A and B are shown apart, each in its own frame.
Chain A
Amino acid sequence: MSGNLTTALSRAAQYAFITGIALFIAIPMLVIAVFSFDANRFPTIPWGGFSLQWHEAVFADDMIRDAFVNSLVVGFGTAVIATILGFAAAYIDYRYVFRGKTLFGLLVAIPPAVPVSILGMAMLAFLSRIGLFGSVEAIVACHVAIATSFAMAIIRLRLGEFPRDLEPAAWNLGASPFATLLTVVLPFCKPALIASFFLSAAVSFDEFLIAWFVGGVNETLPVRILNLLQGQVNPKINAIGTIVLIISIALVLVAQRFVGVRAGKTSQSNT
């Protein structure tokens, strides 16, 4: 009896603990979303009444609109290039054995592990040296260097389920390696490619330090928010924040749907 009781208590404590962590993760996002509709200038309790004025103010703000357009361009460019490069890297890792393969893998995999404050500074120093600094293209180039890592991880995971004999079968039937790649391997990887596209877009849409360093006067949306945050309290921040949150959560959810990370699978993909 007492054993059952302690088990029950321990279970209850565990569920409470998990709920607490879920709240810890959810509360910041909820606070942003809820207070974007608060009429008060400073977001706090008591609630100042429902209002859409800050959302309207956001849409009327030219700098925010420009930043939003920049973010869309950068996010889309990053997503396309990172997915293509990620696929190439994943296929090479899957298909070939060569000297320096580990180094090649590290070169693609490591960038997200380097703190962006250091990476941003290094990229700015180097890009200004070769005359690429201060453009939207520069932000795309740097974001791709990071996002390709995630794209490769996702696509490589999918290739792990690709039957080894399919490609040789296509070759034997007369298809060239390129034809095989385009008509056999690529369609098999389609869900992973879609996931990579959306995740790369999310990574780019979320990144602000590198964009801040190498973008010069071209602000992306997170950079605009960072600049707003360092100024005075600005109730618009919650309104932009809500929009940004919705977009980035949507991107990640779509990506996750297509990659289907489940707890049942082994932990190959965990970084």
Chain B
Amino acid sequence: MTAIEASMPPAPAPDAERGGYRARYAASPATMPVILGLPVLLWQVVFFAAPLVFLIVVTFWKVRSFRLEPDFSFDNWAKIILSTPFQRALVYTSEIAVLCTALTLIVALPAAYTIAFRLSSRLRDLAITFLIVPIFSSYMLRIYAWQIVLSPDGIINSLIKMTGLGGLPLLGGQLSLQIGLLTLTLPVAILILVLAFSGIDRTLIEAAENLGCRRSKIILHVLMPSIRNATFLAGSTAFLMSFGDYISPLFMTGSKPPTLSILIVDTVKSGSQWPRASVIGVTMLAILALVFLLANFLGRERKIQRRAK
């Protein structure tokens, strides 16, 4: 019924006798949000929430003769948590994600500052376009391009060899991996910080200048506290992206050593070990949730203090 009402042409509205029209055609206040909201809700529940819940359920199931069977055992958890490859991958993945987060912030903060305060508004808009485009376009291809640039016979090494020197082992180590991860994290982090810097009330800066603050002091005491939230958001986003990334470890270091994402895909693709792959996935999600809550908490603390003053 209500779905039909939704498709009714609205045109005759002014001609109809007003009160009667409303009484007959106007959806009651409750039906409208239900009609609009139910499809979204169902879609997200079926194709997003249910798979994740199922992921948790599967960790307690068993595999018998290559088939999943419902069960309730902690075997998979015990097997994975206590296994050395998993522990190594967990430590390694955390390390590269922390390093990547630090590098991202070190580069992104001054970059965002310059874009927000030192560029003309036309250049700034251009810079923002330049940051948005790579977020949504072909990360995998850009990593492949870095492979071409860094490989033993690649562009940089060919240039070095032309000068008569020996080639450098650029591909395969932490350097290439971080280049790959920064390709992923930098545009997002800089964009978040540029928007945050641009949102700062300029009169605050002028006031500080008038009171005789040097630029360094303004940055430290006016700008940084103002973008505290955004800094934590940028940091946790960088951590999240690098922690879960699959492509950079795969192509820049050839999966050696494997990260948790690589471990998941290998465990799934190599056959029947769904429950164990799910344990890894759930553990990763738990870690990411913790990091986000922590960042949120740290980012918010200051606000409450300020309000209390």
Contacts and interface: CB of A to CB of B under 8 A. Distances in A.
Interface of B: 5-6, 8, 10, 13-14, 16, 18, 21-22, 25-27, 29, 32-33, 36-37, 39-41, 43-52, 54-55, 58, 107, 110-111, 113-116, 118-119, 121, 124-125, 127-134, 136-146, 148-149, 153-155, 158-159, 162, 182-183, 186-187, 190-192, 194-196, 198-199, 230, 233, 237, 240, 243-246, 251, 261, 264-265, 268, 274, 277-278, 281, 284-285, 288
B149 A31 contact: yes
Interface stretch (A18-26, A49-57, A64-72): A18-26
Interface of A: 11, 14-15, 17-18, 21-22, 24-29, 31-32, 35, 42-46, 81, 85, 88-89, 91-92, 95-96, 98, 104, 107-108, 110-111, 113-119, 121-127, 129, 141-142, 144-145, 148, 171, 173-179, 181-183, 199, 202-203, 206, 208-209, 213, 222, 225-226, 229, 237, 241, 244-245, 248-249, 251-253, 256, 261-267, 269-271
Given A118-B55, A145-B47, A178-B32, A29 B40 contact: no
Given A25-B134, A85-B43, A122 B54 contact: yes
Contacts of A179: 8, 10, 13, 25
Contacts of A248: 136-138
A122 B22 contact: no
Main SS at interface, chain A: helix
B124 A263 contact: yes
Given A123-B47, A177-B26, A253 B129 contact: yes
Contact of B37 (A42, A43, A104): A104
Contacts of A173: 13-14
B186 to A, nearest CB: 7
B190 A21 contact: yes
Given A18-B115, A127-B51, A241 B141 contact: yes
B199 A266 contact: yes
A85 B39 contact: yes
A160 to B, nearest CB: 14
A248 B133 CA distance: 8
B51 A183 contact: no
